[in-house]
Homo-oligomer: A and B are copies of this chain.
Amino acid sequence: MEKTVSPVIIKRLPRYYRVITHLDSIGQTKVSSTAIAQLMDFTASQVRQDFCSFGAYGQQGYGYDVQKLKAELENIMGLNKMHNMIIIGAGNIGRAIAGYKGFGEAFKVCAVFDIAPEGIDLGEVKVMNMSQLADYCAANKVDIAVIATPRTAAAQAAQQVVNAGVKNIWNFAPTELDLPGDVLVENISMSESLYVLSYYMNRQEG
């Protein structure tokens, strides 16, 4: 039943979702592939092809139903399910993620672990010692572990969460993690977005 969606298109799904959510928030009920393409700097045929690849079809002369498209994207990306997250590392990045309001309803930061948690107060989010990680993961459903340690500590931290049974890792440390094949790792690189900006800056000057 399910189609295979290429990794290139998967990377675009969140950006489609961002645009569609924005349109929904301003009360727009339908949208053409041309309008979506303009908002995303794509071509309309690319948009139609992408949507088609995950089974969303517009109507000739009408376009796409915004709410239906939003629901389809939420379903594909699992945004209609709750994901419990823990964060490893209570430094600046760990705190920023714990306090970030933009992830939406589908993600909840349940606890933060650090090797020196004393005196760190993150409000509603509990801060615990790394030594409590295994017990916590045994007693609670943890869907995602966020690695927000310094680069040099990332490999060991990742190994610890995997040993504790966590199968999905969101890695903020600027290093590749070498983990068993059944562990999903998504690396976020803040530099990627900065380099895109830098590209456009230097084209203008060129």
Whether A14 sits at the interface, judged by CB under 8 Å, is yes
Contacts of A203 in B (CB 8 A): 2
B174 to A197, Cβ gap below 8 A?
no
Chain A residues 158-206 with CB under 8 Å of chain B are 168, 170, 174, 176, 184, 186-204, 206
Chain A residues 100-136 with CB under 8 Å of chain B are 100-104, 106-107
Using an 8 Å CB-CB cutoff, how does the interface string of A1-14 with B read, 1 for contact, 0 for none?
A: 01000011011011
Contacts of A98 in B (CB 8 A): 92
Whether A76 sits at the interface, judged by CB under 8 Å, is yes
Majority SS of interface residues in chain A?
Answer: helix
Supposing A92-B92, A170-B194 touch, asked if A199 and B78 sit within 8 A by C-beta, the answer is: yes
Name A92's contact: one of B95, B189, B196 (CB within 8 Å).
B95
Identical copies in the complex: 2
Contacts of A83 in B (CB 8 A): 198, 201
Cβ contacts A to B, 16 pairs, < 8 Å = A2-B206, A8-B42, A13-B196, A77-B199, A77-B202, A79-B195, A91-B96, A91-B99, A92-B99, A100-B190, A101-B151, A106-B198, A184-B201, A186-B193, A186-B197, A187-B193
Extra 10 A-B pairs, beta carbons < 8 Å, given A91-B96, A144-B201? A7-B41, A11-B196, A13-B195, A14-B189, A78-B202, A92-B95, A92-B99, A102-B151, A102-B190, A188-B194
